[in-house]
Amino acid sequence: MKKVFLLLGIVVLFVSETKAQKLPLGPKPSKEPCTTLMGKSMLPVAIDTTIGRQVANNDLAWENGDVILVKFMDNVGSQQVRDMIMRYAKTWEQYGNITFKFVPDNTAETNIRVKLGSKEDRLGHNSQLGIQCNDIPQNQQTLNLDTSDFIDYKSYVDQYKNGGPFLQYLKNKGTDFKNYTYRDLYRDVIAFKDPNVKWNYNSMQGTTTHEFGHALGLLHEQSYPKGIKWNKDTVYKYYAKYQGWDKQKVDYNVIGASDIFYTNGTSYDPLSIMHYPVEAWQTVDGFVVGLNNTMSEGDKKIVAALYPKDKKVSSLAVPKIEITNIGYGEVKTDNVKKGIIIYPSFDIKTSAILGNVYFVARLTTEDGLYYLPTTNENYSWNKMAATYIKMRLLPSSKASYNKNGQKNLELFFPYKEMPDLAGKKVKIQFSVYQDDVVNNRYQKLTFNFLSSPLTIQK
């Protein structure tokens, strides 16, 4: 009898040693929401509501067929996690005529740079939209992924309960298990830096596909105009409490509506990979959207339409101009010709769609804060004193203006065509507007700069 008792005692001791940990307490931390800033893309512009679209920023789309160079930054991330991220990113290629070409970390010039972060650096998940990537300096990332959201925490909860290297790690560092919470556990899993980390591939797929969708120019599907009837106050309170976001950030990231132009026709798609999860309490009508981890049919369609495999140019393409290498050129008064001469200096590149541009030089007050009104109908831009040139730029063309000693773009503003400014100081603001006649969207400002003050002679 005695022997049996002793044996039982040993068994109980053994069990209590490996199963001693109580279930973690408190709520599980949730995945970070995507913080891609879309505000600029959602600003209203003059639009033609008769042409239907879908939520993608046509102005920021790459050229159809582009090979986009992508690299990982800072030598971070195991080959295993990199392989999976590349695979999920490249799923877009199945539907669109666009290539994400992953190149070595030491490649000097790339379009997209992926930074693999964690909760420790709090960069979250986000991406530049489409060709905005090209505006980011080469030493900075264009796309953040928080890999601590890709960890399979369940397997570590399991080790916590049943034993394993993670439990041993916690014991070794003298963890106080009394008031241990999920939050503590998640934090410890990240700090553990498991060389054999278990990944949650659903989360990795959903987030990676979503962020690379932004990199192709797709916007948040919940921004589809009137797609969701938000319970605004409740949503503001929630994000203030759990993310520390102010109303403006919530408007930008969560409840702001895209311009109808960017909806590209098809109807609102709650299954889109570009949709945030929406819970019943966030809406006034109890509408719910789940966590979408795979592409919807709508996602495949919009990418196929933006980047068609069966034609050279997308029917959704809009004229785009890119202005780079901006110098201030030369702005001077000429008292022989009696006027101001402006030689702006920049390089310009056009997309596959023919576009009209206006090179506009407006007069401003000496402090550069106000345009000067005019009654002159010819030297006027929206009733403000200006001189301008309209140019029709050929598709897929490049030009350099006023570079390398050349003078090949000149604007002239005669004194006699200006409002009465004799003896006063003014500045010249030079701007480039593009004119999208097909889509009835006029005067999209793409660039401007201000000169130094000039004195107007008579």
Contact set with Zn ion (CB under 5 A): 34, 36
The smaller minimum CB distance to Zn ion, of residues 35 and 356, is found at: 35
The smaller minimum CB distance to Zn ion, of residues 36 and 434, is found at: 36
Dist. CA 32–CA 149, nearest whole Å = 7
> Coil, strand or helix: which one is 344?
strand
**In the block, which residue shows the tokens 């997309």?**
351
Closest contact distance (angstroms) between CB of 238 and Zn ion is 17
Residue 3, strand partner residues: none
Closest contact distance (angstroms) between CB of 253 and Zn ion is 8
Q: Cα dihedral angle (350, 351, 357, 360), rounded to 10 degrees?
A: -60
**Closest-CA residue to 188 (of 24, 398, 10):** 24
Closest contact distance (angstroms) between CB of 386 and Zn ion is 39
Closest contact distance (angstroms) between CB of 61 and Zn ion is 17
Based on its alpha-carbon atoms, the radius of gyration of the chain, rounded to whole angstroms, reads 29
The smaller minimum CB distance to Zn ion, of residues 34 and 131, is found at: 34
Handedness of CA 148, 154, 157, 163 (dihedral sign): negative
Q: In what order do the strands lie in the sheet with 126-127?
A: 99-102, 67-72, 112-117, 143-146, 126-127
Contact 103, 110 (CB under 8 A): yes
The smaller minimum CB distance to Zn ion, of residues 294 and 324, is found at: 294
The smaller minimum CB distance to Zn ion, of residues 190 and 215, is found at: 215
The smaller minimum CB distance to Zn ion, of residues 122 and 337, is found at: 122
* Other Cβ atoms within 10 Å of 403 Cβ, number: 16
**Closest-CA residue to 197 (of 166, 172, 167):** 166
Cα dist. 428→361, 364, 390, 391 in Å?
6, 6, 18, 20
Dist. CA 385–CA 424, nearest whole Å = 15
The smaller minimum CB distance to Zn ion, of residues 71 and 125, is found at: 125
Closest contact distance (angstroms) between CB of 274 and Zn ion is 7
Handedness of CA 374, 357, 48, 271 (dihedral sign): negative
Dist. CA 385–CA 362, nearest whole Å = 6
Please name the residues in contact with 443: beta carbons below 8 A apart, sequence gap of 6 or more: 46, 358, 433, 434, 435
Closest contact distance (angstroms) between CB of 414 and Zn ion is 51
The smaller minimum CB distance to Zn ion, of residues 84 and 219, is found at: 219
**In the block, which residue shows the tokens 């940990």?**
21
Closest contact distance (angstroms) between CB of 210 and Zn ion is 5
The smaller minimum CB distance to Zn ion, of residues 222 and 402, is found at: 222
Closest contact distance (angstroms) between CB of 33 and Zn ion is 8
Q: How many helices (H) and strands (E) does the chain have?
A: 9, 15
Q: Which residue's Cβ has the minimum distance to Zn ion?
A: 34
**In the block, which residue shows the tokens 């759990």?**
242
Closest contact distance (angstroms) between CB of 214 and Zn ion is 5
